[in-house]
């Protein structure tokens, strides 16, 4: 019996040394998720299964992004996609093949509901979690009664959830009486080293833009993202129009495309702002980073925004951010790196915008060395949060000695 007991102890010690297998089902690979998944692969034996080849309404360079990935991933593409509701066949086969310790879905999606159903039916016994990308505003102002119901139902069954800010974590801890160990805070942050590594190329693009659009000596405010209603760009432009008309040295540059592009161009033309507001199209990777490198500041005026990864990108390139308080990324803003405003309050928006833009400097020589990141290294906090899962798994069973106490 002694030999058997020693063998069990050896097996348990070996199991503790083994990385926990983490399987994540996720919609698609996006640039702002790469560093998060790379870091998770340091803690876990990670496998990500993407359910689409590209995010809806985005056309990202998947081949280029794949070169940055240090984790294993695959695609599961057979299934149903109807009105942004996504479900893929073969998830149970993936779970059985990988045999993970932990399985994660996203939001309160059909994917997450299916995984929870598998556990309820006793088909799997894994620890189940989900990425919940709500902002504090979305937590409070739930989109529909159906979502409110499915949220409550899901929270009761999930073993843990991953949220993007302390405010959101506090909301769930307070309103659903959850344990702190079961709510992980993990904002969508990117690595400054990775984004800034091709500095010469980024500076070359920036200098090209400065020359093409004659930006030297101008205060350049940057927006990056989809030109869609939730970004509230028409309202923001209307509010700051008086300032733009009386300050010819200011440029508001919009990087992106979307359903509101033509109506925004019409608004700009009707307001006689064609010299002040520039539409430069969609850019990615170093071409996009070149715009950050030649701007004076960055704005995100969204009335609703789950997070806003572009805020993190702007801070990485040393830009102070004028950020809607309704964006999840507002949690990244402090008195040193930006200013928060209420996008639904015209007076608050305009008065704070005046204060914000007065602090900005005009574009001069382009140098990333002179524009250090305005965000702290998030990795230590990130790793500590995710170690909560490892600590749960590393508690030794209390049954070793009991197996022998009667022998």
Q: What would the DSSP string read from start to end of 295-318?
A: -SEEEE--SSBS--HHHHHHHHTT
Mean pLDDT calculated for residue range 251-259: 96
**At residue 234, does pLDDT exceed 70?**
yes
From the list 96, 112, 100, 92, the residue with the least C-alpha distance to 72 is 100
Q: Are residues 232 and 324 in the same domain?
A: yes
What is the pLDDT, as a whole number, of residue 59? 74
Percent of the chain surpassing pLDDT 90: 81
pLDDT tens-digit map of 44-61:
999 999 999 988 777 777
Q: Are residues 248 and 140 in the same domain?
A: no
What is the pLDDT, as a whole number, of residue 392? 64
- Domain extent, residue 184, equals 2-189+378-403
Confidence of residue 7 (pLDDT cuts 50, 70, 90): low
- Between the CA of residue 44 and those of 38, 96, 105, 289, 383, what are the distances in Å? 10, 18, 16, 31, 11
Q: Are residues 185 and 201 in the same domain?
A: no
Q: Are residues 34 and 183 in the same domain?
A: yes
Confidence of residue 185 (pLDDT cuts 50, 70, 90): very high
What is the pLDDT, as a whole number, of residue 85? 86
Mean pLDDT calculated for residue range 161-176: 94
Query: Which has more pLDDT, 62 or 94?
Result: 94
CA atoms of 243 and 265, how far apart (whole Å): 18
Mean pLDDT calculated for residue range 258-268: 97
252 and 244 Cβ atoms separated by less than 8 Å: yes
Q: Are residues 207 and 314 in the same domain?
A: yes
Mean of pLDDT over the chain: 91
Q: Are residues 142 and 179 in the same domain?
A: yes
State the CB neighbour count (10 A cutoff) for residue 262: 10
Range in 47-56, 317-326, 343-352 with the lowest mean pLDDT: 47-56
For 48, counting Cβ atoms within 10 Å of its Cβ (0-12 exposed, 13-18 middle, 19+ buried), the class is: buried
CA atoms of 247 and 249, how far apart (whole Å): 5
pLDDT tens-digit map of 205-229:
999 999 999 999 999 999 999 999 9
Mean pLDDT calculated for residue range 364-393: 90
**At residue 11, does pLDDT exceed 60?**
no
CATH of the domain at 353: 3.40.50.2000
Q: Are residues 9 and 61 in the same domain?
A: yes
Q: Are residues 183 and 209 in the same domain?
A: no
**At residue 400, does pLDDT exceed 70?**
no
State the CB neighbour count (10 A cutoff) for residue 315: 26
Mean pLDDT calculated for residue range 250-268: 97
Domain count, the chain: 2
Q: Are residues 241 and 173 in the same domain?
A: no
What is the pLDDT, as a whole number, of residue 18? 79
Q: Are residues 277 and 382 in the same domain?
A: no
Confidence of residue 407 (pLDDT cuts 50, 70, 90): very low
Which three-class secondary structure state does DSSP give residue 397?
Answer: coil
Q: Are residues 170 and 201 in the same domain?
A: no
Mean pLDDT calculated for residue range 157-166: 95
CA atoms of 100 and 97, how far apart (whole Å): 9
Q: Are residues 216 and 334 in the same domain?
A: yes
Rg (CA), the chain: 24
């Amino acid at each position: 019996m002694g030999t058997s007991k020693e063998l069990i102890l050896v097996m348990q010690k070996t199991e503790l040394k083994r990385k926990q297998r983490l399987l994540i089902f996720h919609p698609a690979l996006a640039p702002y998720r790469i560093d998060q998944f790379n870091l998770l692969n340091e803690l876990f034996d990670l496998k990500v299964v993407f359910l689409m080849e590209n995010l809806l309404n985005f056309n990202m360079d998947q081949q280029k992004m794949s070169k940055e990935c240090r984790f294993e991933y695959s695609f599961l593409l057979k299934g149903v996609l109807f009105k942004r509701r996504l479900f893929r066949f073969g998830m149970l086969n993936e779970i059985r093949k990988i045999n993970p310790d932990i399985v994660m879905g996203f939001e309160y999606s059909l994917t997450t509901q299916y995984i929870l159903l598998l556990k309820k039916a006793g088909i799997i016994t894994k620890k189940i979690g989900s990425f919940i990308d709500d902002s504090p505003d979305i937590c409070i102002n739930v989109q529909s009664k159906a979502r409110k119901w499915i949220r409550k139902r899901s929270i009761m069954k999930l073993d843990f959830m991953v949220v993007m800010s302390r405010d959101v974590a506090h909301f769930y801890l307070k309103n659903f009486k959850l344990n702190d160990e079961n709510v992980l805070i993990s904002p969508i942050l990117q690595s400054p080293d990775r984004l800034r590594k091709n500095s010469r190329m980024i500076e070359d693009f920036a200098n090209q833009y400065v020359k093409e659009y004659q930006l030297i000596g101008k205060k350049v405010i940057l927006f990056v993202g989809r030109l869609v209603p939730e970004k509230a760009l028409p309202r923001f432009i209307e509010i700051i129009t008086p300032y733009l008309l009386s300050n010819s040295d200011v440029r508001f540059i919009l990087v992106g495309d979307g359903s509101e592009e033509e109506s925004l161009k019409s608004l700009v033309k009707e307001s006689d702002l064609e010299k002040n507001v520039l539409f430069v199209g969609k850019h990615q990777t170093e071409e996009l980073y070149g715009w950050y490198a030649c701007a004076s500041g960055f704005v995100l005026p969204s009335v609703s925004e789950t997070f806003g990864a572009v805020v993190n990108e702007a801070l990485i390139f040393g830009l102070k951010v004028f950020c809607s308080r309704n964006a999840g990324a507002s949690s990244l803003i402090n008195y040193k790196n930006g200013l928060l405003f209420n996008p639904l309050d015209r007076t608050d928006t305009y008065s704070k915008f005046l204060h914000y833009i007065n602090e900005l400097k005009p574009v001069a020589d382009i140098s990333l060395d002179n524009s250090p990141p305005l965000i702290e290294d998030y990795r230590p906090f990130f790793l500590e949060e995710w170690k909560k899962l490892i600590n749960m798994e590393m508690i030794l069973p209390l049954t070793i000695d009991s197996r022998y106490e009667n022998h």
